[in-house]
Structure formats: C-alpha cells, structure tokens
C-alpha cells in the first residue's frame, strides 16, 4: 500500500512537470502566432537572446508586443487560479472564485471612473485604466478588511456575505454611472469582457512584484489552508490563529486578484474552474493543489488567449468569452471522469 | 498530577451567558473520562475549551498539568475529534489522516516516509487500512468516525478529546468505536476524554464520569460509583430505574 501511495505521488509530480512543459511549449507557440508569423525556432532564439540574423521586425513584434502579453497572460492565469484556490478552501466552498470579496466590482468601478473622468494617461506609463482598476480592487479589499476589523468574531460565511453585498452595491453604482453616461457604455463593457491585448512592459513591471508577493503569501499559507478547509474548529485545534491567518490569506488573494484584474479586466471561469481541476487531479494537500492550480491557470489562460487572438484574426475576441466557452466542456469532462475515480 | 484541572472556569456566548459557570474541579488520572449531561449543559463547550478552540470568559484550565490557552499550539499534547466534519471537497482517507502529521509535507511537496508509515499504522489500528484510497465522504458513518480517530492517533498525542463519538452510529458501530477507544486507553496508555450521551455506555466503558448540568458540575467521580440512579435522575430530571444493570426510564 505504501508503495502504491508513493507511485501515485510520483504520478502527481510527473503531472506537474508535464504541465510546466506544456506551459513552456505553449509560451513559444504563443510568441510565434500573430499578425506577423514568426517561426517557433526563431521565437525561441529571440527569447534566449540569440538575435543574430533575425528580422528586426520579428524581434520588435516579440519583445515589444508579444512577450509582455505572454507574461501578462501567464500572470493572470496563475494569479486568478491561486486566488480562487485560496478562497475556495478558506470559505469551504468549491464555488468561491477570486471575485468573491467584491474585488471585481471595485475594479470595474475604478475603470468606469477612469474612463468617465478621462484619466487615460495614468502614471509611470501604466495607463489610467490599469491604475484605477487596481486602486478600485484594492479599495474594495480595504473595505472588507475594515469590516473584518470591526466584526472581530466574523465567521467565513459572514465575510462571504460582506463580499456578495459589496459586489451588488458597487455593481449598482457602476450601473448608475453607465445609465448617466450611456455614450461611454461600449468601452466600459468591452473592458469587463477581459483582454490582455494592451499589456505593456510597464504594466508587466508593475504587476510582477505584486504577483510574486501575493503568490508567495498564498504558498506560505498552504499548511493553514489544509486545516481551514476542514473548518475553523479543526484549524484552531491545530494551533492556527484563524482570524489572523484568514486576514493574511484574504490580503494576499486580494493583491493577486487586483493585479490580475488591472492587467486583463474581469476574466471569469479561470479562477473558479482551474482550482477545482487541480483538486480533481492532485487531491487535497495545498502544496500540490496550489502548484497544479497555478500551472493549469496559466496554461488555460494562455490557450484561451491564443484562441482569442487567432479565431477571428486579424480582429480579436475578448479572452473572457473564450475562457468560458472553452472551459465549460473541459471542466464537464473532468467532473464526469472524477465521478468514477478519486485521483 | 491531575488529568484535568478547572479553576473558576466560566464561558459565555455573546447571546448566551453562563454556559459554564465558575467550575472548579480536579479530575484525577483516569484512562477514559466521560463528560455527560443534558443538551445545552456545556459539554461540547468544555471540550472545545480543553482543545484550545474557545477561550474561557474567566478562569483557567489545565490538561495533564499543561495550561491550555487559545492560539497556543497544543497539537502535540492533545488531538481533537469533532462531533461531525464538513468536507467540501473530495478527500482521500490517507490524506485526511496525514493531517494528523502537521509537518508531513516537505517544502518540495513530497511527503516524508516516516509520516506516511505513521498514517498507515493509525489506519491499521482502527481497522480501516484498506480504505486508504477511498473518498472519506463516501465511507459509512462508523468508518468515517474510525478515520477521524485515526487522524487523532496519527497525531501521537497523550490525550484524545472526542465529541460524541457514537451519537450517529448504529449499535454495532457504537460498540466497535467504544471498544476501540477503551483499547487505546488500556493498551496504549492514551487518555481519552469523550463527550457522551448514553449513561449505560459511559458506565460500561469509561473510568471516570463528569456530569454537567446548567453550566455547573452535577456530579463527578469514578464511573461505577457516580453513574447511579440518583445522579441520572437529578442531572437529567427524569425518573429511571435499573434493570439488568441498565438504566431505563421508569
């Protein structure tokens, strides 16, 4: 039995390795595909810095446009998946997603304000929309933290209700603003459909440290998540300071979600489904679940964005539409398969 | 050293004062202690205070000479088995039992062989080794209860705190679980503290009984002596008589 246990463990490790290889392969393919096609080998050489004899136009297309977009896609996919996985365990609910604390509605409000107030230039080359959506998302998180501070004995269910209420409230504010400025509806609605097409070096340089901080925080909480998913009593009996740890997890997950939303707009499904896929494939230990979720999220978003930019080329589909269209059948297949065996 | 020492122990919920009301008590060393009493008497609350889950409103509590304080990691001293468990995700039995080994998973995500062996040993001890790959939620009530106990065993603590271990089980499983707990107390020197409802089972399987009533101690003493008609009648407020060594309603 113990040998079989380790055989399954090794299979899980190989699975993670395979996902990482698929991500790397997908990344090279992603760099090659576009209005100006670039060979796979050529893309790899540019990525590794061997640029001799390569068309400068190709170098510019990859380094200036596609690489920032690739990194943005990987960060958004992995970030939403990690945040979703953390919230699902924290709230003991498989239907929780990265936007459960109202962060997405805050980001949409920020973006709406940026568009309506004409803050398109932004700060440090970030763009007003990126900056305002990040501030809107983090502002919403601050409201949640404030309420958590006031309601010291709040249960996870109460926090969930606070998030849902905030979501409704901020969405209503956005609807009111849209109603009053109907001529601007299109640009705001398009943003909410999600896209990483406007990713720039500056945005990636801004997002990367925030992502790393958030991801490190979530990974560092993996042991706490192992117990929190069984309920607060069990967690407390294992010496976990539940309010403090919960606060920390929400903080890091909010950072991740906020930075993802500021990069891509609101992209649904990734943060809900990929953590569930990870659990089906690897089980309940969060050290593995988080690795799988991040890799699956990155791979899934990469694939979806690749389709988004190629299906109707030269025009593009919103990636949020593709993630849902692509994700539902994939997930349904996994659920059907998992109903017959446990990983 | 006493098994359990309570000093002026009080606990109130925000909208329910006096759940435990200034209890001072010293329970001598006993392999198997049962906490009995009517619903709402404060039994599970006392167990959660012992497990460090709830903070007393007033007073102190010590288990095996160690003062229990919330937020202090007592998982090396005691293991807590809840009355029921809500599992939102499919959980393999072995992964659940491994949670009794908090440092089983290395930074790399690999599980240490020593901890895996301990987890399989715990499953073997409760007779559930063959279920290691199964989904915990798909096991029967009795098997689930045994797996919960296995996780506590894997923790390798002296004390096991168990909240109503047999409440939802059929008669056969009740006997199996109680016999298992008795065996753990006798053969391995574990100290079992269990919240129970059935006074007959408490008299048969436990060594010491603590009756709570309205947040105060109703009676306490060796099970064979303290679990008698007078105690049962005064604590539960019903008339009983003893037939064939069992208490039945008169």
Kindly write down the DSSP assignment for every residue of A95-159, as one continuous string. Answer: T--TTTTSHHHHHHHHHHHHHHHT--S-STTS-HHHHHHHHHHHHHHHHHHHHHHHSTT--HHHH
Domain positions in chain A? 2-338
Residue of A nearest to B136 (CA): A342
Residue A2 pLDDT? 83
Which chain B residues are Cβ-neighbours of A13 within 8 angstroms? 109-110
| Dihedrals phi, psi of A18, to nearest 5 degrees | -60, -45
Does A231 contact chain B (CB < 8 Å)? yes
Q: Find which of A128-132, B87-91, B192-196 is predicted with most confidence, using mean pLDDT.
A: B192-196
Q: Are B202 and B196 in contact (CB under 8 A)?
A: yes
Structure token digits, residue B135? 């989904």
Q: Are A163 and A100 in contact (CB under 8 A)?
A: yes
pTM for the predicted model, two decimal places = 0.89
Residue A54 pLDDT? 81
Tell me the ipTM for this assembly. Answer: 0.88
Q: Which of B88, B92, B103, B148 to mutate to test the interface with A (most CBs of A within 10 A)?
A: B88
The most distant pair of C-alpha atoms in chain A lies apart, rounded to whole Å, by: 66
Give the pLDDT band of residue A126 (cuts 50, 70, 90). low
Q: How far is CA A255 from the centre of its chain?
A: 11
Share of chain B above pLDDT 70, in %: 100
Residue A321 pLDDT? 86
Q: Are B63 and B6 in contact (CB under 8 A)?
A: no
Residue B128 pLDDT? 87
Burial class (CB within 10 angstroms; exposed 0-12, middle 13-18, buried 19+) of B150: buried
Residue A337 pLDDT? 66
Residue A340 pLDDT? 56
Strand pairing partners for B105?
B111
Q: How many CB atoms lie within 10 A of CB A222?
A: 21
> Which of B73, B87, B95 has its CB closest to that of A283?
B95
Identify the residue whose tokens are 């705190």: B161
* A162-193 pLDDT, tens digit each: 888 999 999 999 889 988 888 878 777 777 78
Average predicted confidence (pLDDT) for chain A:
86
H/E element, B27:
strand B16-27
* B141-157 pLDDT, tens digit each: 888 888 999 999 999 89
Share of chain A above pLDDT 70, in %: 94
Structure token digits, residue B35? 């906490």
The single-letter DSSP state of residue A25 is H
Q: How many CB atoms lie within 10 A of CB B165?
A: 25
Does A6 contact chain B (CB < 8 Å)? yes
Q: Is the pLDDT of residue B36 over 90?
A: yes
Residue A338 pLDDT? 62
Does B124 contact chain A (CB < 8 Å)? no
Which chain B residues are Cβ-neighbours of A241 within 8 angstroms? 71
Give the pLDDT band of residue B47 (cuts 50, 70, 90). very high
Residue A97 pLDDT? 86
Q: Is the pLDDT of residue A220 over 90?
A: yes
Q: Are B28 and B208 in contact (CB under 8 A)?
A: yes
Separation in Å, CA A137 to CA A34, A91, A166, A193, B108: 31, 20, 11, 16, 33
Q: Is the pLDDT of residue A124 over 60?
A: no
> Which of B51, B96, B133 has its CB closest to that of A237?
B51
Residue A125 pLDDT? 57
Residue A212 pLDDT? 96
Does A272 contact chain B (CB < 8 Å)? no
Give the pLDDT band of residue A328 (cuts 50, 70, 90). confident
Q: For A63-71, what is the mean pLDDT?
A: 91
Nearest to A250 by CA among A168, A170, A146, A165: A146
* A76-94 pLDDT, tens digit each: 999 999 999 999 998 888 8
The correct CATH number of A2-338 out of 1.10.569.10, 3.40.50.300, 1.10.3470.10, 1.10.10.60 is 1.10.3470.10
Share of chain A above pLDDT 90, in %: 32
Q: How many CB atoms lie within 10 A of CB B242?
A: 13
Q: Is the pLDDT of residue B221 over 70?
A: yes
- Lowest-pLDDT choice from A127-141, A219-233, B162-176: A127-141
Identify the residue whose tokens are 């107030």: A117
| Dihedrals phi, psi of A139, to nearest 5 degrees | -60, -40
HSE (CB half, 13 Å, CA atoms) of A239? Answer: 12
* Cis geometry, peptide bond prior to residue A314 (ω within 30 degrees of 0): yes
Q: For A142-148, what is the mean pLDDT?
A: 82
- Measured over the CA atoms of residue A103, residue A108, residue A109 and residue A113, the dihedral's sign is positive
Share of chain B above pLDDT 90, in %: 43
Does B15 contact chain A (CB < 8 Å)? no
Strand pairing partners for B60?
B7
Q: Are B215 and B183 in contact (CB under 8 A)?
A: no
Q: Is the pLDDT of residue B50 over 60?
A: yes
Separation in Å, CA A233 to CA A80, A142, A239, B94, B149: 28, 27, 10, 21, 16
Q: How many CB atoms lie within 10 A of CB B139?
A: 16
Q: For A277-285, what is the mean pLDDT?
A: 89
Give the pLDDT band of residue A123 (cuts 50, 70, 90). low
Residue of B nearest to A281 (CA): B90
Residue A305 pLDDT? 92
Q: Chain A 65-124, CB below 8 Å of chain B: which residues?
A: 88, 92-94
Q: Is the pLDDT of residue A122 over 60?
A: no
Structure token digits, residue A9? 């463990």
**Strand B78-81 versus strand B159-163 pairing type:** parallel
């Amino acid at each position: 039995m113990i040998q079989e246990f380790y055989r399954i463990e090794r299979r899980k490790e190989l699975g993670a390795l395979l996902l990482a290889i698929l991500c790397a392969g997908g990344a090279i393919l992603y760099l090659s595909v576009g209005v100006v096609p670039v060979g796979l080998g050529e893309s790899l050489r540019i990525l590794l810095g061997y640029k001799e004899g390569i068309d400068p136009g190709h170098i510019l297309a990859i380094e200036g446009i596609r690489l920032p977009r690739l990194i943005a896609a990987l960060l958004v996919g992995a970030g939403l998946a990690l945040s979703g996985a953390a919230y699902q365990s924290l709230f003991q609910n498989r239907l929780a997603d990265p936007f459960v604390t109202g962060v997405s509605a805050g980001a949409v409000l920020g973006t709406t304000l940026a568009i309506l107030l004409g803050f398109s230039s932004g700060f440090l080359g970030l763009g007003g929309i990126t900056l305002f959506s990040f501030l809107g998302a983090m502002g919403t998180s601050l409201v949640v933290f404030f309420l958590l501070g006031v309601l010291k004995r709040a249960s996870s269910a109460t926090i969930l209700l606070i998030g849902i209420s905030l979501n409704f409230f901020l969405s209503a504010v956005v609807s009111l603003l849209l109603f009053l400025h109907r001529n601007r509806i299109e640009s705001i609605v398009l943003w909410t459909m999600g896209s990483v097409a406007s990713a720039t070096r500056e945005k990636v340089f801004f997002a990367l440290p925030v992502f790393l901080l958030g991801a490190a925080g979530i990974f560092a909480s993996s042991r706490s998540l192992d117990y929190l998913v069984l309920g607060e009593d069990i967690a407390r009996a294992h010496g976990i300071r539940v309010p403090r740890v919960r606060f920390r997890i929400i903080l890091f997950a909010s950072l991740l979600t906020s930075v993802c939303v500021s990069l891509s707009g609101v992209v649904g499904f990734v943060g809900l489904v990929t953590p569930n896929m990870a659990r089906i494939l690897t089980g309940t230990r969060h050290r593995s679940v988080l690795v799988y979720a991040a890799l699956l999220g990155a791979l899934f978003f990469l694939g979806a964005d690749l389709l988004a930019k190629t299906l109707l080329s030269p025009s593009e589909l919103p990636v949020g539409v593709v993630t849902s269209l692509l994700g539902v059948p994939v997930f349904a297949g996994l659920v059907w398969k998992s109903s017959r065996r446990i990983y | 050293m006493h098994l359990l020492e309570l000093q002026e122990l009080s606990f109130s919920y925000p909208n329910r004062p006096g759940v435990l009301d200034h209890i001072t008590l010293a329970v001598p060393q006993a392999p198997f202690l049962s906490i009995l009493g009517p619903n709402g008497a404060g039994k599970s609350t006392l167990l959660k205070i012992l497990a460090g889950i709830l903070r007393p409103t007033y007073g102190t509590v010590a288990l095996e000479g160690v003062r229990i304080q919330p937020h202090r990691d007592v998982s090396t001293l005691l293991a807590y088995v809840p009355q029921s468990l809500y599992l939102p995700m499919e959980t393999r039995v072995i992964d659940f039992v491994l949670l009794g080994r908090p440092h089983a998973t290395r930074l790399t995500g690999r599980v240490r062989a020593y901890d895996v062996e301990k987890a399989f040993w715990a499953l073997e001890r409760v007779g559930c080794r063959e279920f290691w790959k199964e989904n915990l939620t798909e096991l029967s009530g009795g098997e689930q209860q045994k797996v919960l106990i296995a996780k506590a065993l894997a923790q390798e603590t002296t004390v096991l705190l168990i909240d109503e271990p047999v409440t939802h089980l059929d008669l056969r499983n009740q006997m199996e679980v109680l016999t298992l707990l008795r065996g753990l107390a006798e053969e391995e020197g574990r100290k079992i503290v269990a919240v129970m409802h059935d006074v007959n089972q408490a008299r048969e399987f436990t060594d010491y009984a603590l009756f709570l009533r309205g947040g105060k101690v109703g009676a306490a003493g060796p099970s064979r002596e303290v679990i008698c008609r007078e105690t049962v009648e005064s604590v539960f407020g019903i008339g009983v008589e003893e037939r064939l060594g069992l208490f039945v309603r008169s």
